[in-house]
C-alpha cells in the first residue's frame, strides 16, 4: 500500500493534549492516530445520511422491567426483527433495572427505525445506537 505524506499544523496546547490521548490509547505514532480519526469521521458522516446500505452495530438500552408491559413490548419488537437482530445480551443491574445490548445488522434506515421504536417503548430509560460500515 502506498501512502501520501501530508503536513498538519497544531497549536502547542492542542498537540500536547493529542499526544497525551494517543499515548493513553496506545497508538504507536501520530500518523496512525490521525488516520483512525479521519476514517472514523468519514464513516460517521456517511452514516448520517446513509439509509439504503448495510450497517452493523449495537443498540444498548436500560429499562425498568417493572414498568408496565415493557418486557412484552420489547420481546414483541425483537421477534418481529429477527433478520436485523443477530444477538442479545441481558444483564440485571438491580431489582428494577436491566441492561440489554442488541447486536444488529441490516439496511441503515431499518436499523435506525428499529432503534427508535425500541428506545420509544415506555419503561426504556435511555440507550443509544452505534452503527458502522465495513467501508467508507
Model confidence at 135, pLDDT cuts 50, 70, 90, reads: low
Which of 105 and 42 is assigned the larger pLDDT?
Answer: 105
> Cα separation of 11 and 136, whole Å?
29
> With bands split at pLDDT 50, 70 and 90, how would you rate the model's confidence at 11?
very high
pLDDT in tens, 77-132: 999 999 999 999 999 999 999 999 999 999 988 999 999 999 999 999 999 999 88
Q: What pLDDT, in 10s, does the model give residues 43-74?
A: 777 776 666 788 999 999 999 999 989 999 99
**Closest by Cα among 50, 14, 10, 27 to 134:** 50
In this prediction the pTM is: 0.72
Helix (H) or strand (E) holding 21: helix 12-25
Count the neighbouring beta carbons within 10 Å of the beta carbon of residue 73: 19
CATH number for the domain running over 12-49? 1.10.1220.10
Q: Name the CATH topology of 54-132.
A: Alpha-Beta Plaits (3.30.70)
Q: 10 Å Cβ neighbour count for 96?
A: 13
DSSP secondary structure string for all residues of 25-78: HT-SSHHHHHHHHHHHHHHHHHHHH--SSEEEEEEEEEEETTSTTHHHHHHHHH
Amino acid at each position: 500500500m502506498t501512502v501520501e505524506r501530508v503536513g498538519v499544523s497544531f497549536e502547542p496546547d492542542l498537540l500536547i493534549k493529542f499526544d497525551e490521548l494517543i499515548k493513553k490509547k496506545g497508538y504507536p505514532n501520530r500518523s496512525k492516530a490521525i488516520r483512525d480519526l479521519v476514517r472514523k469521521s468519514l464513516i460517521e458522516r456517511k452514516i448520517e445520511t446513509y439509509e439504503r446500505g448495510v450497517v452493523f452495530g449495537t443498540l444498548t438500552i436500560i429499562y425498568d422491567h417493572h414498568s408496565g408491559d415493557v418486557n412484552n413490548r420489547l420481546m414483541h419488537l425483537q421477534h418481529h426483527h429477527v433478520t436485523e437482530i443477530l444477538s442479545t445480551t441481558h444483564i440485571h443491574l438491580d431489582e428494577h433495572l436491566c441492561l440489554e445490548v442488541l447486536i444488529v445488522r441490516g439496511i441503515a434506515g431499518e436499523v435506525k427505525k428499529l432503534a427508535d421504536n425500541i428506545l420509544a417503548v415506555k419503561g426504556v430509560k435511555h440507550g443509544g445506537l452505534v452503527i458502522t460500515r465495513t467501508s467508507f
